[in-house]
Amino acid sequence: MKSFDIRTKIFFGDNALDRILELHYKKIMVITDPFIAKSPLLPQVTERLQQAYIDFSIFSDVVPDPPLDKISAGVKKLLELDPDCVIALGGGSAIDSAKAIREFAVRANGKDIALIAIPTTSGTGSEVTSFSVVTDTEKNMKYPLVSESMLPTEAILDAELVKTVPASVTADTGMDVLTHAIEAYVSVNNNEFSAALAEKAIEICGTFLLRSYLDNNDTHARKKMHVASCLAGLAFNSASLGLNHGIAHAVGARFHIPHGRANAIVLPHVIEFNSGINKHSKSRKDYPKCVEKYCNIAKLLGVNNFNEITTIRALVGWIHFMNEEMSIPLSISQCGVERKEYMNAVEQMAEKAIADACTATNPRVPSKADVCLILEHMYD
């Protein structure tokens, strides 16, 4: 038996932030990062809280790829403040921090606290997922924590907040959206509901990701990508992800490569691995099941070709094209990582990628040797 539900109520479209004016909480803790705390983004939320006569405090000690010590500092602060609602304002790092902080605080004092997620990047979909990715800086490891109790109560998608995202972050986070949708679509846990959400997210990425990268003022494209990010989040919250995220977590934690960028570099390699198709492939009678799914994805992106091999090749080529167009490095060496240091870390990263919770739903079960080979190919 399977089930599907969307627990988070989603507010979206023009003036979605006005949802804040309707809130009735007594005290709100706003969790954000230091950049957003100093930017004109924060007043868009706090001015509305003032208009709604809601008492609030700001916690802005969030850092990218939230480490465990920052989470525990946040838990301490939350227990001191004792709010009845948390607002997470920011990219995946702020939202994941808020999810983990609230989760640990609720476990500590048993009091229910609402969580409203307001994303300022179009990327992680964290506003609707039960995942929170935290980093153990001593062990250089990223852990995806997964618990339904971490699902936000509400998500507010207001594209006004993503206008200021710099082009390189639009590129990285946009490729994260695409990777979520593709991995959910080919996951062994995929189902009709997750597939419908993933297909729409892929279609939007195909039309609007490059547009929103090339022109910051293309508000239509930004609005579309903001919705796509959430759709892809809903898709993988149901179907989960795959080896792409397993490898991206391992490489990202070890060499401090932004999450979306790491996914973008891994993506062509994992598609070739899962499909068993690369530039040397010849036509076969039978293909793995996921090949048909990748062909559907290629069709949604308008790059389907006359047979399975040419279509998978075209899909991989399209991803290379997108990465190049958006100045995303095509390899780890282009990220400035030293060869020897990287190659020495390959085995350990492969073990971490295989142990990562996301890898469990990959359509092809990878051996350690398979992952080592992918990691080596990713370098040049």
272, interface contact from Fe ion, ligand NAD, none, CB < 5-8 Å by kind? none
Buried (b) or exposed (e) across 284-311, using 16+ Cβ within 10 A?
eeebeebbebbbbbbbbbebbbeebbbb
CB 305 within 8 A of CB 311: yes
Nearer to Fe ion, 154 or 176 (CB): 176
How near is the Cβ of 267 to Fe ion at its closest, in Å? 11
Stretch that binds Fe ion, among 51-59, 79-87, 174-182, 353-361 (CB under 5 A): 174-182
Structure tokens at 95: 């939202």
Under rule CB under 5 A, residue 176 binds Fe ion: yes
Which residues form the interface with ligand NAD (CB under 6 A)? 33, 35-36, 41, 64-65, 90-94, 96, 120-121, 123-126, 129, 131-133, 161-162, 164-165, 169, 173, 176, 259-260
Pick 237 or 296: Cβ nearer ligand NAD = 237
- The rounded distance, in Å, linking the Cα atoms of 355 and 367 is 11
**Smallest distance, Fe ion to C-beta of residue 43, A:** 29
Q: Is 356 in the site for Fe ion (CB under 5 A)?
A: no
| Residue number with CB closer to ligand NAD (70 or 259) | 259
Nearest approach, Cβ of 312 to Fe ion (angstroms)? 22
Nearer to Fe ion, 176 or 308 (CB): 176
Bridge-based pairing state of the strands 114-119 and 154-157:
parallel
Tell me which stretch binds Fe ion (CB under 5 A): 73-81, 175-183, 206-214, 363-371.
175-183
Question: Which does residue 96 touch among ligand NAD, Fe ion, none (CB within 5 to 8 A, set by kind)?
Answer: ligand NAD
**Nearest distance, CB of residue 244 and Fe ion, angstroms:** 9
Binds 93, which of ligand NAD, Fe ion, none (CB < 5 to 8 A, cut-off by type)?
ligand NAD
Q: Kindly tell me which of 65 and 203 has the beta carbon lying closer to ligand NAD.
A: 65
The residue among 172 and 199 lying less far from Fe ion, judged by its C-beta, is 172
In the complex, minimum distance from the CB of residue 121 to Fe ion, in angstroms, rounded to a whole number: 11
Measured from the CB of residue 245, what is the shortest distance to Fe ion in angstroms? Answer: 6
Q: Which stretch binds Fe ion (CB under 5 A): 152-160, 170-178, 225-233, 355-363?
A: 170-178
Name the residue among 167, 237, 156, 230 with its Cα closest to residue 200. 230
Binding site for Fe ion (CB under 5 A): 176
